[in-house]
Amino acid sequence: MCIRLALAQAGLDPAAVDYINAHGTSTVLNDKGETRAIKDVFGAAARSVAVSSTKSMTGHLLGAAGGLEAVISVLTIRDGIIPPTINYETPDPECDLDYTPNQSRQKTVNVVMSNSFGFGGHNAALIFRRLPEGSA
């Protein structure tokens, strides 16, 4: 629900998203649920959008996780580098998206979605996008 709402509030279609900074805690329940949510919203295009879990590099910072992942999302737009999901060794067949395994990749990124899913159903998705030239 929060993914659809974030896109609607940003006035964007799922096809506009270049990269998803997943909540990605590497737990069975969370990863399968997030994968299903992405597939539900993005449909057939879900497998073509770059996804990664930056928690694979930082660990779960709990209260600081959302803030750091917001910074990483903005840097992804600025630098055009999709961060990897490191230590990605044994894929779950139900988690079959492009998780940017083990190596970053260069890509022009204009729109990032960052997901944060908390205890007790406190879920959020934020949209970050590049400003059009000359609008700053």
Residue predicted with more confidence, 121 or 130: 130
Average pLDDT of the residues of the chain: 91
Q: What is the pLDDT of residue 82?
A: 98
Q: What is the pLDDT of residue 55?
A: 84
CATH number of 2-114: 3.40.47.10
Q: What is the pLDDT of residue 126?
A: 97
User: If residue 125 lies in a helix (H) or strand (E), which one and from where to where?
Assistant: strand 123-129
Total-model pTM: 0.91
pLDDT at residue 24 tops 80: no
What does each C-alpha distance from 74 to 11, 89, 131 come to in angstroms? 19, 27, 11
Q: What is the pLDDT of residue 51?
A: 96
The residues, ordered by sequence, that sit 6+ positions from 1 with a Cβ below 8 Å of its Cβ are 123
Residue-range domain boundaries for the chain? 2-114
The number of beta carbons lying within 10 Å of the beta carbon of residue 45 is 14
**What is the β-pairing status of strands 105-106 and 50-52?**
unpaired
Per-residue pLDDT tens over the stretch 69-123: 999 999 999 999 999 999 988 888 999 999 999 999 999 999 999 999 876 778 9
Q: What is the pLDDT of residue 102?
A: 96
pLDDT at residue 127 tops 80: yes
Q: What is the pLDDT of residue 100?
A: 95
